[in-house]
Amino acid sequence: MLPVLYVVTGPPGAGKSSYIQAHAKARDIVIDMDLMALAMAGPGADHHNHPEVLLKVVHRARFAAIREACQHLDTTDVYLIQTLPSGRQRAEYKRLKAKVIVVDPGRDIVMKRIEAMRQPGMKGVATKWYKANRGRPHGAMPQGSWEW
């Protein structure tokens, strides 16, 4: 089986990282902004609430990691978390024949998870995700596949 770029999308708190933990193998490449931020933060850092300077560093490292990982799609599966990809990013993922995995347990569950585990600003990101993906099936199944 040929290696694949898996773009794992969904609102904040949907379970994208958990999906990857359940499906990726040890030799796969996983690009997860939260895990990258934790790796670059000092001891005791919050898992989902990072200072602005750290996020700038992580964003640049993430872009570099994506570019490099995509150079190895001939030998290695890559899992990439992308909550709200831009049109240009979606076009690039389509060109790379990415498989889009949607993780969405439903808006009510997501909002409850955000209240319990995330900073309040993530409710706005979740609302934006649901608006951007209006008309697509979500909520009925925890995950599915889409074409962009």
- pTM beyond 0.75: the answer is yes
- How many domains is the chain built from? 1
What pLDDT score was predicted for residue 147?
55
What pLDDT score was predicted for residue 46?
80
What pLDDT score was predicted for residue 146?
52
74 token code pair: 């001939």
What pLDDT score was predicted for residue 140?
41
Query: Are the C-beta atoms of 120 and 23 separated by less than 8 Å?
Result: no
Q: Which domain holds residue 13?
A: 5-146
6 phi and psi, to 5 degrees?
-100, 120
Q: Strands of 78-81's sheet, edge to edge? A: 29-31, 78-81, 5-9, 99-103, 143-146
What pLDDT score was predicted for residue 47?
76
81 token code pair: 């978390």
What pLDDT score was predicted for residue 137?
59
pLDDT one digit per residue (tens) for the chain, 148 residues? 789 999 999 999 999 999 999 999 999 999 999 999 999 999 988 877 788 999 999 999 999 999 999 999 999 999 999 999 999 999 999 999 999 999 999 999 999 999 998 888 899 999 999 999 887 655 444 455 555 5
Residues 6 or more apart whose CB falls under 8 angstroms from that of 81 comprise 8, 9, 16, 17, 20, 31, 32, 33
CATH of residue 113's domain is: 3.40.50.300
d(Cα 37, Cα 45) in Å, to the nearest integer? Answer: 9
